[in-house]
Amino acid sequence: MRKKNKYLILTELYLSLAVIMQSNDSEACSRIVVATPHHGVIVSRTLDWSKELGEIAEVSGVGQKRTTRNKSGHYANPATWTVKYQTLSFIEPKVFECTTSEAINEKGLSASVLYMADSEKIQQTHSDNEAPAVNLQNLVSYLVENNASVQEALDAKEAGKWQVAWAETIHIKGEAIQGPHFSMQDKSGHIALFQFTDVGEVIYDSKKGDDDLNVMTNAPLLWKQRVMLEYVGKNNIRRMDADIHPYSRFQRLTAYLNAQQFDSKLSRAQVDAKISLVMDTGGSVPTDVKDESTGLSYETQVKIQYHFDTGDISFKNYQVDEQMRFNFKDIMKFKKPMFADLMGDLAAGHKSPNWLPYNPAKCQ
C-alpha cells in the first residue's frame, strides 16, 4: 500500500483539529488511573462544575435490594438487583439529582462517570435491547455492587444481563439533559471505557490494546482526543496549552503521568503525593478561570483519591480547602445503608465522615 505524504497527514490532522476545537466548551471533571509498581493501582478524580456541588457518600451493604431509575419509561425492563459487594458511592444530590459519580467496592473494582458533551444529543437514539436497563444516574453504583472485576462486568453485559440506559441520560436541576461517559477500573489495572457515539455504544478495553485509558476528561470523544494528542505529542509538555479545556487537561495529564517515576524506595505516602500533584497541576481547574466560549467557570470543587490495595481514601473539599482521610475497612461493619454529608462535614471542621442511617427518600 502506498504511504501517505507527510504533508497530507499533517493537513488531515489540522482539519481534524479544527473540527474538534470548534465544538468544545470547557466542561468539567478529570480521572486518572495509575498502576504503580510497588503500591498497586491508585485512582484520582475531580468533580468540577459551574454551580456549587454538595457531594455525599453512601454505603450500600450486602443483601440490600436496589431498583434503577426509569423516569421516561423508555426501557421495558428496568434493572433490579441485590447488592453482592459492600460498596462506597459518592453521590451528587445538589445539582445532578443524586447521580453517583464514583463508586468503589470491597473486591477492588471502581467506576467513574464524567460529563461528555459530544454524546448529549445522539444518546437519545439508543434502542432498548430488552436486557435489564440501568439508568446512568445509578449505573456506577450498579456496576460496583454487582461485580468483582472489570472482566466480570463486561462478561455479564455480553451475556445480556445488563445494558446502559443511554436514552435515560443524566439530568441537571433547572437545566437541560447532559451527556456522560463512564469507565470501570480494578485492582489488576484493567480499565474499560464506555462512550456513546454516532455509531452507537463504543467500549474501549485496556486488555484489547487500548493502552491510553488511564486518563479521562470530557469532550471530545476518545478518538478525537487521540488525534489531538498525536498532533501535540504525548510527552511534549512545551507544546501543551495552559487553558481549562478538557482536551488540554487530557494532554497535560497524559504527559505528566508519563514523566512520573515510582522508585521502589518511595513510600506509599510519597507515591500518593506524586499522583495528587499530577491531578492538581494537570487536571484541576482554578477558581474564577472562565471558559471563553461560555463565560462560566468550572472550578474544581472536589478531589477523590483512593488505593485499591490498602483501601485508603482521601476526599478534599476545595471550597474550604479541607481534606479528610479514611479507609474502606471503616465501612465494612455497616450492615444497613449509611450516608455522610462529606462537603458539609469538612465545612464544619470534621476530619472524618459523620456516618448516619441513610434515608432512601433523600435521592428519589
Average pLDDT over residues 169-187: 84
pLDDT digits (tens, 9 = 90+) for 95-105: 888 899 999 99
Closest alpha carbon to 162 in 187, 143, 181, 189: 143
Query: Distance between CA 269 and CA 266 in Å, rounded?
Result: 8
Q: How far apart are CA 194 and CA 164, in angstroms?
A: 9
pLDDT for residue 189 is more than 80:
yes
Q: Name all contacts of 127-130 with Cβ < 8 Å and 24+ positions apart.
A: 128/74, 128/75, 128/76, 128/77, 128/163, 129/160, 129/163, 130/76, 130/77
How far is the C-alpha of 114 from the C-alpha of 121, rounded, in Å?
16
Tell me the per-residue pLDDT of 200-256, one tens digit each, with 9 for 90 and over. 999 999 999 999 999 999 989 999 999 999 988 877 777 778 888 999 999 999 999
Non-local (6+) Cβ contacts of 348 within 8 A are none
Look at phi and psi of residue 29 and say left if phi exceeds 0, alpha if psi is from -120 to 50, else beta. Answer: left
Look at residues 334, 309, 277 and name the one whose alpha carbon lies nearest to residue 61. Answer: 334
pLDDT grade, residue 74 (50/70/90)? confident
Nearest CA among 109, 38, 106, 45 for reference residue 268: 38
List, as one string, the DSSP characters of 152-205: HHHHHHHTTS-EEEGGG-EE-TTS-EE-EEEEEEETT--EEEEEEETTEEEEEE
pTM: 0.92
Q: Which residue has the cell 450500600?
A: 60
Q: How far apart are CA 33 and CA 29, in angstroms?
A: 14
